[in-house]
Structure 1
Amino acid sequence: MTEQYQHKARKRFGQNFLHDAGVIDKILRSIRAKAEDRMLEIGPGQGALTEGLLSSGAQLDVVELDKDLVPILMQQFSAMPNFNLHQGDALKFDFTRLNAAPGSLRVVGNLPYNISTPLIFHLLQNAHLIRDMHFMLQKEVVERLAAGPGGGDWGRLSIMVQYHCRVEHLFNVGPGAFNPPPKVDSAIVRLVPHQTLPHPAKDHRVLERLVREAFNQRRKTLRNTLKALLTSDEIAEAGVDGSLRPEQLDLAAFVRLADTLTEKPVVG
């Protein structure tokens, strides 16, 4: 890269640029992009993954927030007919603008840690458009995404992502693969939206509300943490033991509780 196109990573954007060729190759092999694919890369940075995705022949849209990176990316890739850049905030990006067929969009990103959770929730609102997602995230976030009931990692993020997707923790990446190196380990995760939801809720917004309420005070029993929403009898009617803590319940039990709340008559 010539001197005029050097770019210093910016802390306010949470930038840590991937530079390890072995890790880049391993990520690209996990994604297995093909010429017929419709790809979306969030936060391409200096183009570490972009080049490999484009060389597959796939149609690639990229969303980059940092205006200073736009000329770097355009200089590298604008001559390629399958490259299209959108400058803006992925948290506010309207994915329907891409006119992707339902279930076709393949999303990739080395996500800044400070926006990873809200961005995943934003993407899940468009899950019907998405075939799969491959993200580089903080390792502890991936552990929460892939967690099962009964442990401290199981919580709102695990439940709401697993409601929509199958989660695979693929492999870990050490700080040395980045410039500057972050203070934490990273990991690659694959999220595949379910074609048919395994535990469909009558109203997923009610499920989101109930799960948020349950984990607001995760050390308390469900009887206490959900008392503003459901009585002890209503919790029992859903086939759930109200003396359990939220982390002890699986997704199906949370859906039963949410459906009980959805069907609850409005008083007043």
Structure 2
Amino acid sequence: MTSPKTLLRTWNLRPRQQLGQNFLSDPSTAQMIVNRAELSPEDTVVEIGAGLGALTIPTGQVVRQVYALETDGHLIDLLRTELATHNITNAEVIKQDVLRFDFETFARERGITDRLVVMSNLPYNISSQVLVQLVKSRHIVSRAIIMFQKELARRLVAEPGNRDYSRLTVMLRYCSEIRTLATVRASMFYPKPKVDSEILEVRFRERPEHPVADEEFFFKVIKGAFGQRRKTLRNALSGSELQVSPDLARQSLEAADIDPVRRAETLTVPEFIALTEQLALIREA
């Protein structure tokens, strides 16, 4: 693996800060990620932000097919050249912004019937959006192996009552199991980011343990509760896009056996489900 710095200089390119580009520069780290991801020859992988191919190459050596998404058009020819140099013939490079990518449509058009595996070293500025997108696409995505900045990774595995506990934590706990695979030091990237990263595996359940009747509304309730997280749940919900009055918010919380003066970060997933059910009853009344 040629160093990212050398590759970029050879092609007269520079990392683009606005795209959050930090390229993995250690091939042993890339191989470690692929090994711990426990990929198989039957897997079809969608890689988000393939960059210079640090993960694409070892992934392609294991799985059936890799679809390497890359939004930076300046890197496309370089990436294809690197894949050809390493004799990776089962990777297709696609110029694509993942935030405009429809996993279901893509799988249908390509005739893919098995659920996809997603891999990525996600830029911090789109990590939350991509996670929400994956949660909503989980019927076609079985799991995701993603490298996050340590700060976000800690939020995703936080427990209720911890100040890192967030909207994303609740959404993921509802429909997946999360485990930490490894920590990657900042020195393993070019350019070097300010913080270390952690690799998480998000394994989506085929069916949530306690499925809600209206998932879209459930996610809106979670968003509303965390929208003003310093406020009590009663005030946060009444000030959200749910458009419920303070009295109705209080009634729903009490009906769900939740103290209205609690805050969003203290609620478990079952409590959010109970709250959603009570708010739905009020909405339908």
TM-score by length of 1: 0.93
Note if contact 2:46-2:117 (Cα within 8 Å) is conserved in structure 1: yes
The correspondence for 1:93, drawn from 101, 111, 121, is 101
Q: Which amino acid in 1 is paired with 2:260? A: G
Inter-partner Cα distance in structure 2 for 1:262 and 1:67: 45
Is 1:5 equivalent to 2:11 in the alignment? yes
Aligned to 2:192: 181
Is 1:18 equivalent to 2:24 in the alignment? yes
Which structure 1 segments of 5+ residues have no match? none
Aligned to 2:49: 43
Q: Which amino acid in 2 is paired with 1:22? A: S
Note if contact 2:182-2:200 (Cα within 8 Å) is conserved in structure 1: yes
CA RMSD of the aligned region, Å? 1.8
SS at match of 1:192: strand
Q: Which amino acid in 2 is paired with 1:242? A: P
Aligned to 2:155: 144
Q: CA deviation at 1:258?
A: 0.9
Note if contact 2:107-2:113 (Cα within 8 Å) is conserved in structure 1: no
Q: Which amino acid in 1 is paired with 2:207? A: T
TM-score by length of 2: 0.87
> Runs of 4 or more off by more than 6 Å in structure 1?
none
Is 1:213 equivalent to 2:224 in the alignment? yes
Inter-partner Cα distance in structure 2 for 1:193 and 1:47: 26
Note if contact 2:135-2:171 (Cα within 8 Å) is conserved in structure 1: no
Residues paired across the two proteins, number: 266
The correspondence for 1:198, drawn from 200, 209, 212, is 209
Inter-partner Cα distance in structure 1 for 2:191 and 2:271: 43
Aligned to 1:247: 265
Aligned to 1:163: 174
Which structure 2 segments of 5+ residues have no match? none
Inter-partner Cα distance in structure 2 for 1:116 and 1:127: 16
Note if contact 2:61-2:88 (Cα within 8 Å) is conserved in structure 1: no
Q: CA deviation at 1:6?
A: 5.4
Inter-partner Cα distance in structure 1 for 2:54 and 2:88: 16
